[in-house]
Amino acid sequence: MRSLIMKNLLSRIKTRRKNNKFIRNRNKNILKHKKNQNRISVIEEEEDTEEGFSIKSSAPSQTHGVQPLGNLYLNPGSINSRDTGLGNLHTLTDELVLDILGFLDGTSLGVLASVSKSFYVFTNHEPIWRNLVLDNLIDGFQYNGSWKSTFVSAYYPSFDISSSDRRSFKVRDFYSDYLFQSWLCANLEMKPEWLERDNIVRKRGISVEEFVASFEEVNKPVLLEGCIDNWDALRNWDRDYLVKLCGDDVKFAVGPVEMKLRDYYRYSDQVREERPLYLFDPKFAEKVPKLGLDYEVPVYFREDLFDVLGNERPDYRWIIMGPAGSGSSFHVDPNSTSAWNAVIKGSKKWILFPPDVIPPGVHPSPDGAEVASPVSIIEWFMNFYGATKNWKKRPIECICKAGEVIFVPNGWWHLVINLEESIAITQNYVSRRNLLNVLDFLKRPNASTLVSGTKDRVNLHDKFKNAIEASFPGAIDELTQKEEEKKIQQRKLSFWDSVADVGAFKFSF
Amino acid sequence: MAQEASSSTSSKTISLKTGDGEIFEIEASAAKQMKTVQRLIDDLGDDITIPLHNVFSKELPKIIEYYKKDITGEITKDFEAEFVKDLNDDEVKVLFLAANYLDANKLFEFLSQNIADRLESKSVEYVRKYFGVENDFTPEEESKLREERAWSFRGIKEDE
C-alpha cells in the first residue's frame, strides 16, 4: 500500500441541488486567493502531525500523472503544463474548464484529447464521462473498466477500447489540486481512526414501550440488535439468489438510470470513484414481490400512520445496495419522518448530529432545499471529521453490521458510508410521536418541492390530515392538546429554573 | 469604509474604465451582477471610476448590453441567440474570457455553452489556434493518441 503525505488539502464545495448549474464559489467561509483572478479556494487544515493516507491496494484508477500544486511550488522554475496546454483557458479554474467540457458530446471530447497534454488530462476526467453515460444510457449500461470506456464501447462497439486503455499514458509537469484530489478521493481507504468511535446506545430485546419511551419520544438514536434474526433475507440474500430471483427483466433504480441487477454488479465490482453509484429503489417490492416477503418491519416500527394513505403515500421503503465507499453525505430525511435502516449484508459507518447541530462543513440554505457540503464522503472525513473530536456537541457514531438495525429519529443529520459491499433495507415512517411534526412540515409553502416520492405533492397535507381524521377521529386534537400541555409545563419549569438561578430573588414577606 | 445604503442605488450609475482608457456607465444594479466590479466598488467606493485592466472597449459595451437586459428580467433564449448570432468565434472567446474576469456568472454560463457548441466537430488544429495552445506532444505520442481515439474520427469538419 502506498502512502502519501498531504497538507493544505483543497476542499471542493459543491451544492447539492436538483438541477446542475454552475456554482461559483459562494461559500463565505472559503479563503479566496485573488492572484491572477484565479478563483482557487483553499481551506487550510491544521494537522497536528503530517498524516499519511492509504491508497486502496487493488488497482487504483488512472491518474495520468497529475500532481498536486504543492509539488510545483517545491520545484522552482518548473512550468505547469496545465497552463501552457490550455492557452487562453488557463485563467479559468479547473472546475470551470470541466464545466465547459461537460457541455460537449462524446466525439468532440475524444477529439480534444489530442490538442495538448493538458486537454488530454481534462478530457479524460472520468466524472465528465460518467455524466455522458448517465444522461444518455438511461436504460442501463455495461460498465467497462472506466466511464469513458463504457461510453465508447456503447456507442462504438466495433472499436477495441480495452487495448487502448492499457496504452493510455502519463503526462509530466501537470499540477492541479482539484484533479489530484479528485483522484485521491476516488482511491483512498477509510482511515482506521475514522472508524474507532462507537458511542451509540445499543439495545437488544427491549419492549416496544421501552423503545418508544427511551428513544422515539425523546428523539434519540439507538442501535437495535437481534430484532431481525427471523428475516429470510438474512439467510437468502446473496448475489446468486438475487440475480436468479430478479432475472433479466427487472430493472432497479441506480441514480438516474434503471439497470438489471447483473449489470449493476458488473459496475460495482469494477468501479473506482469518489461517489460510487448505489442501487436505491423505492419500488423493489412491487417489482419483485418475493423481496418484500423476505423481510418484515421490526416490531418497534409497526405503527406507521402514512399507511392511511394507502397507495397514495409517498415513497417509504428502499432497498439499498452499494460497493465500499458508496453512501450518502450529510442530509436530513424529507417529510420530517423518522427512519430505520437494517443491514442485511456488509457494514455501514454512521455519523449522526441532532437537529439543532449543523455538522461541520455543511451549509444548508434557510429553507433546507439546498445543502452545500464537500463533494464526497471521504473528503468530509479528510477535512472535517477531526473537528468533531474537540466539539462539545459530539456526533453519535457507530458501525452497523449485518443483522443490526439503526433508528434515525426525525430531523437528525446523518451521513452513511458502506465499508464493504452492502445490502440494506430502510423505511421512513410516521408514528403518533412525530405526527404533528410531519403535518407541520407538510403545511409549509415549499413542502411540495421538499416532499419526495408523491405525485400529488401539493395536497399531501390535506389528504393526510383528512385520512387521519377518518381513521383516528380526534387523534390530532388529542395530540395537539398534549403538546400544548407539555409546552406550558416546560415554560413553568424553565421559569422556576431561572428564578432559582437569580440569587437576588428571595421570598421575603 | 462604511457602505452607503442601497436605497440610492436604483438610479445610481457606476463608471467603468476599460484597459484602453474608455469610460462606460452602467447601472449599479447591473454592476452587482459582475462580482469583480462589485468587489472593486466595495473596496474603492462607488463614486470613483472603476478600472478594468483586462476588459477593453470592444467587448465591454456588449457585456453592458447583456446586463441591461438582465436587470429588466428580459433575457430569453431568443435574445441570447440574437446576442451571439453575428459574433465570430474569436469575438465570443474574448467576451467569454471577459465574463470570467468580471465574475459575471450568468453571462459566463451562457457563453460557455456557446463556445462548447462552436467547438463541436472542430479539428484539433483549429482548437489549438483558437485557444492559443502549444502542442506539447511528441510525434510518437501524437500517433499513439490517434490510435487511442480512432473511434472519434467520424464527423469532423476538417481533415484529420
Among A171-180, A356-365, A369-378, B75-84, which stretch is predicted with the lowest mean pLDDT? A369-378
Which positions in chain A touch B117 (Cβ < 8 Å)? 103
User: Which of the pair, A422 or A369, is modelled with greater confidence?
Assistant: A422
Average pLDDT of chain B?
86
> Residue A127 above 80 pLDDT?
yes
pLDDT in tens, B5-44: 444 445 688 999 999 999 999 999 999 899 999 999 999 8
Proportion of chain A in helix, strand, coil states, percent, rounded to 5: 40, 20, 40
A127-143 per-residue burial string, b: 16 or more CB within 10 A, e: under 16: bbbbebbbeebeebbeb
Q: What is the pLDDT of residue A446?
A: 65
The pTM score is: 0.81
Rounded to a whole number of angstroms, the distance from the CA of B104 to the nearest CA of chain A is 10
User: Which of the pair, A77 or A223, is modelled with greater confidence?
Assistant: A223
Which positions in chain A touch B105 (Cβ < 8 Å)? 22, 24
Which positions in chain B touch A168 (Cβ < 8 Å)? 148
- Rounded Cα gap, residues B60 and B95, in angstroms: 8
Cβ-Cβ contacts under 8 Å for A38 (sequence gap 6 or more): A91, A93
- Rounded Cα gap, residues A353 and A415, in angstroms: 9
Identify which of B105, B135, B151 has the shortest CB distance to residue A159: B151
pLDDT in tens, A278-297: 999 999 999 999 999 999 99
Residue A479, SS3 per DSSP:
helix
Cβ-Cβ contacts under 8 Å for A405 (sequence gap 6 or more): A223, A224, A225, A227, A228, A298, A340, A341, A342, A343
> Residue B159 above 50 pLDDT?
no
A interface test, pick of B59, B93, B149 with most A CB neighbours within 10 Å? B149
Question: Average pLDDT in the A474-497 region?
Answer: 80
For residue A274, give the nearest of A154, A387, A417, A64 by alpha carbon. Answer: A417
Instruction: Judge whether A355 and A396 are in contact, CB under 8 Å.
Output: no
- Rounded Cα gap, residues A59 and A186, in angstroms: 11
- Rounded Cα gap, residues B90 and B84, in angstroms: 11
Interface of A with B in 95-124 (CB under 8 A): 96, 99-101, 103-120
Which positions in chain A touch B118 (Cβ < 8 Å)? none
Q: How many Cα atoms sit within 13 Å of A201 on the Cβ side?
A: 11
DSSP state of A385: I
Which positions in chain B touch A104 (Cβ < 8 Å)? 116, 119-120
pLDDT in tens, A5-57: 333 333 444 433 333 334 333 222 222 222 222 222 233 233 333 345 667 66
Q: What interface predicted TM-score (ipTM) does this complex get?
A: 0.83
Rounded to a whole number of angstroms, the distance from the CA of A364 to the nearest CA of chain B is 22
CA angle B107, A40, B61 (to 5 degrees): 25
Instruction: Judge whether A424 and A348 are in contact, CB under 8 Å.
Output: yes
Cβ contact, residue pair A169, B120, below 8 Å: no
Q: What is the pLDDT of residue A78?
A: 84
Identify which of A37, A115, A155 has the shortest CB distance to residue B127: A115
pLDDT in tens, A62-79: 778 888 888 888 887 888
Instruction: Judge whether A88 and B131 are in contact, CB under 8 Å.
Output: yes
For residue A83, give the nearest of A97, A70, A73 by alpha carbon. Answer: A97
Instruction: Judge whether A395 and A388 are in contact, CB under 8 Å.
Output: yes
Cβ contact, residue pair A113, B105, below 8 Å: no
Cβ-Cβ contacts under 8 Å for A489 (sequence gap 6 or more): none
Tell whether B133 lies on the interface with A, counting CB pairs under 8 A: yes
Q: Which amino acid would we find at residue B129? A: K
Q: Which sign does the torsion angle of CA A371, A374, A378, A383 carry?
A: negative
Polymer length in residues for chain A: 509
Tell whether B115 lies on the interface with A, counting CB pairs under 8 A: yes
Q: What is the pLDDT of residue A221?
A: 97
Q: What is the biggest distance separating any 2 CA atoms in chain B, rounded to whole angstroms? A: 65
Q: What is the pLDDT of residue A9?
A: 37
Identify which of B116, B136, B154 has the shortest CB distance to residue A81: B136
Rounded to a whole number of angstroms, the distance from the CA of A168 to the nearest CA of chain B is 7
- Rounded Cα gap, residues A82 and A452, in angstroms: 42
Rounded to a whole number of angstroms, the distance from the CA of B89 to the nearest CA of chain A is 13
- Rounded Cα gap, residues B133 and A207, in angstroms: 71
Residue A45, SS3 per DSSP:
coil
pLDDT in tens, A305-328: 989 888 888 889 999 999 999 999
- Rounded Cα gap, residues A460 and A446, in angstroms: 12
Instruction: Judge whether A343 and A233 are in contact, CB under 8 Å.
Output: no
Identify which of A88, A103, A168 has the shortest CB distance to residue B97: A88
Residue A287, SS3 per DSSP:
helix
Which positions in chain A touch B124 (Cβ < 8 Å)? 111-112, 114-115
Which positions in chain A touch B115 (Cβ < 8 Å)? 100
Burial tier of A242 (Cβ tally within 10 Å: 0-12, 13-18, 19+): buried
Identify which of B119, B124, B151 has the shortest CB distance to residue A114: B124
pLDDT in tens, A181-203: 888 888 888 999 999 999 999 99
Q: What is the biggest distance separating any 2 CA atoms in chain A, rounded to whole angstroms? A: 99
Which positions in chain B touch A111 (Cβ < 8 Å)? 122-124, 127, 149, 152, 156
Average pLDDT of chain A?
82
Cβ-Cβ contacts under 8 Å for B47 (sequence gap 6 or more): none
Q: Is residue A339 very low, low, confident or very high in pLDDT (cuts 50, 70, 90)?
A: very high
Instruction: Judge whether A275 and A310 are in contact, CB under 8 Å.
Output: no
Tell whether A20 lies on the interface with B, counting CB pairs under 8 A: no
pLDDT in tens, A341-351: 999 999 999 99
Cβ contact, residue pair A103, B97, below 8 Å: no
- Radius of gyration of chain B measured on its C-alpha atoms: 20
Interface of B with A in 4-43 (CB under 8 A): 35-36
DSSP state of A417: E
For residue B138, give the nearest of A174, A65, A114 by alpha carbon. Answer: A114
Cβ contact, residue pair A22, B105, below 8 Å: yes
Q: What is the pLDDT of residue A483?
A: 84
For residue A365, give the nearest of A448, A256, A441, A446 by alpha carbon. Answer: A446
Tell whether A161 lies on the interface with B, counting CB pairs under 8 A: yes
Identify which of B109, B128, B148 has the shortest CB distance to residue A168: B148
With a pLDDT cut of 90, the percent of chain A lying above it is 51
- Rounded Cα gap, residues A399 and A402, in angstroms: 10
pLDDT in tens, A389-438: 877 778 999 999 999 999 999 989 999 999 999 999 999 999 988 888 88
Query: Counting one residue from A and one from B, how many pairs have CB atoms under 8 Å apart?
Result: 117
Instruction: Judge whether A383 and A21 are in contact, CB under 8 Å.
Output: no
- Rounded Cα gap, residues A67 and A73, in angstroms: 11
Identify which of B93, B108, B109 has the shortest CB distance to residue A88: B93
Strand ranges (E), A323-361: 327-331, 338-345, 347-353
